[in-house]
Structure 1
Amino acid sequence: MEPKGEPQGRNGGEPEREGPDFLAGGGALGQLIAAHDWPSTPLGPLSSWPGHLRTTVGLLLRSPVPIVTLWGEDGIMIYNDAYSVFAGGRHPRLLGSKVREGWPEVADFNDNVMKVGLAGGTLAYRDQELTLHRHGRPEQVWMNLDYSPIPGVDGRPAGVIAIVVETTGKVRAEGELRVTAEALATLNAELGQRVEERTRERDRMWRLSTDIMLVAGFDARIEAVNPAWTALLGWGETELLGQDFMAFIHPDDSAATLAEVGSLSSGRTTLRFENRYRRKDGTYRWLSWTAVPDKRFIHAVGRDIQAEKEAAETLRRTEEALRQSQKMEAVGQLTGGIAHDFNNLLTGITGSLELLRTRLAQGRLADLDRYIATAHGAAGRAAALTHRLLAFARRQTLDPRPTNVNRLISGMEELIRRTVGPAVAVEVVGTAGLWPVLVDPNQLESALLNLCINARDAMPDGGRITVETANRWMDEHMARERDLPPGQYLSLCVTDTGTGMTPEVIERAFDPFFTTKPLGQGTGLGLSMIYGFVRQSGGQIRIYSEIGQGTTVCLYLPRHHGAEDAAESAAALAAAPRAERGETVLIVDDEPTVRMLVTEVLQELGYTALEAGDGTAGLRALRSDARIDLLVTDVGLPGGMNGRQLADAARVTRPGLRVLFITGYAENAVLGNGHLEPGMHVLTKPFAMEALAGRIRDLIEGGA
């Protein structure tokens, strides 16, 4: 099922029609022209087009330059792929339209073009300034325009052909360069006149400027500096003259600085280049340089941007804090449903244990397995809820893994239903044989949950959310529409029956901090974070929406050519491998219950078990002469030494000691975000005792 609002291809998904020969090889516009409703235009059906019009259109379609034909008195627009890029949001509705109606904001300009062209005249404009509305807002643009008449059968002009080359970037860059070059040329002239360098005006600029001024050779030898060097960096003039300025550059900026000097030596001007210079006290300060070369020297002005850099870093940290706040906002959405579930699960656990104790006291042993299974199942579901909540709340980013998205959605389905509430129906439509993708599954879970929360908020009176997956083959046309390379993709779409979004809201939906929610009810970071995650994963996100008809948000992720992660299975404890040759395990955990359970399991399997309640006691045991084949330690320990620090200290006297960290999952940052040394592994709490026994056997034997 295609998500509502998503483009279905021309003619409602029907096969594309073959066009006439003159459209062959004409790219996307050739196909659009072949499919266009020409009988409803003054040009009539394609089969009736005159030969000179066919020839003209065939030529322009094969040109890489933006070209448009304005045919007849109305200037019916026919153009090529390059012109469609120039047209922006006006494409494809410009095709077959009258030029005056297609570009109403420049109607008078085009009226004159048609008047001159149909009279047999030509027009040429260079860097012509116009104001266009290509993307729903006015833009000041500059273009090179060439207009020529197209002769008809009788020799009289039948239309006008226009070659359009946008020069906006060049005009603006030249304007900025002119201003900068003029200022630098003035400075260059003043510094170049060494016999007059002590004149009053130059002396005033040189001495009073708060910006650093530098004259240096292309060999980096410093020829002249102004007093701002001393004020800003602490170096005196005598300490700098004749020195190599590369000696003052931060090592991390050396390569880029040398490359910029090379650019200057070839005659190019530096408009903005940033690097760090060493102060006399050994610290570094950020400078932004503008420089021009002459035949012998580089003349440069450096502006202090340390405060800007620090402010940018503060903004980055603030944004990170807000992003974390947004995550916690999502966590807050979960707590009600999770608390309800947890109370049910705890009831199942405690009730089963009470009945188990009662039946044991009564000597009634027949139903014990049923109570044990009930408590064990409820505990497992409680652990899964805890893991998922911690996954959403974490700060660190985990590595991408091959992921089965249908399985991921299935694991979240109940959580989503609890989060959106009983007024919203949730339907999951998973395609069979879905391709795996290479993503961070926890980030994908967070993205899916955020999309479902947004969908719920768009349906204040209730409604339906549909979560749908599909395999997609994207040809060049479909991929170009989504700004992706052609190929195989998985789509994950969330559709709601809510209020919908206007085009203006859709256009800004992925902007950081943009939100339509009331003040205090959203950070505006949800969709921007999803956008960043999807783009970093090599995919794309698109919104399809109509006011009053609901919204579909689709994530497109590249297919991973490989198997997804296999689901883990555990054998029964009775079948777990047993210890050999007096093998000894040290357990360090501040929770006595955990130590007791792990110790009993190990002793049951024939291991010698040593216990310690904190890092200090554990390190004392590790520094003794006792045989220890494996260290099993919690990550969060009291007494100022965590489990990772304990393991690192233990390996000083016991190199190669194998270590198993047992962790509450949220402590992953302490472990280096997954970057562990060889022989160190992690097992997440809570864990099955048989899984612990199997992992211990693997580690002692040197397995992965």
Structure 2
Amino acid sequence: MQPERIVTGPMNLITAPRMPRFPFDGGEMGQKVRTFDWSATPLGPIQDWPSVLRVTVEFVLNSKFPKCLVWGSSLTMIYNDAFKPILGNKSEALGRPFSEVWSEAWDAIGPIAERAFSGEATYIEDFPLAINRHGHLEQAFFTFCYSPVRDENGVVVGMMDTVIEMTGKYLAERQLRELANSLEKQVAERTADRNRLWQLSTDIMLVTHFDSVITAANPAWQRMLGWSEQELVGQRALSLIHREDLHRTIRTIRLLSRGTPISGLDNRVRHKDGSYRWISWNAVPGDGLINAVGRDFTAEKEQAEALQQAEENLRHSQKMEAVGQLTGGLAHDFNNLLLSIGGSLELLGERLRQGRTQDLERYIEAAQGATQRAASLTHRLLAFSRRQTLDPRPTRVNHLIADMEELVRHTMGPTIRVDIIRSTDSWTVLVDRNQLENSLLNLCINARDAMPEGGRLVIETANVELDAKTAGALELAPGEYLSLRVSDTGMGMSAEVAKRACEPFFTTKPTGQGTGLGLSMVYGFAQQSGGQVRIHSETDRGTSVMLYLPRHADEPDAPSETAQPSDMPVTSQGETVLVIDDEATLRMLVTEVLEDLGYATLEAAEGPSGLALLESGRPVDLLITDIGLPGGMNGRQVADAARRVRPGLKVLFITGYAETTVVGNDRLEPDMQILTKPFTLDALANRIKGLLG
């Protein structure tokens, strides 16, 4: 058989099949291998490479695992794309000797390569190498295998380097190990600290279940309460708690069982000797247990109780001193007034028995004058105690000062300059106008007396808004206030005197020149009006008294015409008036005056009997009643019950002492009025006429 010939001609061109390119594919490095000038290397032209080299190169270039082929005694390198990151920024290593490319690490890897060329495969994990691939030496870690490559005769002709860089993983694991070691060390140190704290703490420590059964107790229990840990473990902690503190302690354990930490639980814990110690506990729940720390504050508790008792004794002593001062001042002033009244009445009786009727009016006037001074004294006392009967109305303080300006300037005299500084658009306040006038006049008179050689008096108003801190310092609620300041340039007061200036009957004036009730009345009036008084004074530099009065939303009422004195009115309508008062003399005087005026009268000495008259069906047009009555019903209760039976019944309360719990701070209901004792019979008659129309 003849070998086939290939005939070519112009019309029939047949070519032999082309061999596949080498290396086939291989990515970027495959392209470089194909175009590299291998003739300049010990491997020679690529077309002359032996089949074992070609097969191995194909294997390396098409592997996704980092691989590098080191061929022949020249250690020429051929590597794939996956190997390139290991080289970093090293200059092109393709075709160069392996020993040259890794010269900085050759002392370490050279002996391993020699073992591979001698026919021994090696596998090494986390091998440390100091390599220069980014312009500087760096520590890196590799897991690699050097495997010998043999030709068809079994001769080692090369080495396969299969490698994974473990630097990141190794460093992370090392950091994790270091962190674990550090944490272990910290835990050990903290455990040691906790154990030292457990052993050495002067506070008692306790671990219990939520049923209060003790699982651990530190040595401080024995030092503080006499109980050893062996005696406590297994016992219920609640069995050691004072029975008066059990309910509070059980409630706290329930909170802990719901996961709520607690602090500041105070209870009494029984000592082994049977006594009790006060313990303040902090506790937290966790892992089904309660961890608690308790501090013994028995000594502090006893000291606080002793201090409280001492303060109570001091307050009682001061109260008794104030009562002594008050009663002494009252006795002095009222004895003088009673002597004036009694002496005038005795002389009046004596003159009538003698038939000497001329000049009797001067005795009557003396008795009436003493009565008025006694009324003023009691009003001042009630103002200090904040029990006076007030008639608060919306008031413009600037208008009140303007009405009093002439009186103030006249009172001060020519040697004292009076300056009045009024704030624009000053706020309205709800006060008893007459009492505010009295307070302002008292302050001005005090200022005048403090400037015997003349000086300057300033009356100033301002709108102020007190924040929580400022109001708290003044013992007021935060909010809007009108301030009224009265300042003088007089002799002033020391801090000790200023502190006592508002005490009743305390005065620095010579005997007979002051009652000591002026500032106490101002203080009581301000307090009863919802305000406050503050005094600032310096010796030889003057005094400033500041009144704070709460702002009121309503506008002032239109000023009413002042009632003029007149003769007692006489009625011709035959109205009936019921008088209820436990003071027989006063009841007699009131009924006789009413009868003189033409009114029919009914009398009762106490609340229930007066209410019985009202419920009897007898005609009653006006009820006049004291507020403080015996028999279990006060005057306000009688009036309220009577109005349920007789809606619209007119009521006049007469009182020298109005409890706020009876009348309240609000205005009275329509056709209800108050007349303060003592009062003139003219005033009583005019008030009755006004009520009955």
Task: Please tell me the TM-score bracket, short chain as reference.
Answer: 0.3 to 0.5
What is the TM-score with the length of structure 1 in the denominator? 0.42
Compare relative contact order (CA 8 Å, sep 6+) and give the higher one, 1 or 2.
1
What is the TM-score with the length of structure 2 in the denominator? 0.43
Which structure is larger by alpha-carbon Rg, 1 or 2? Answer: 2
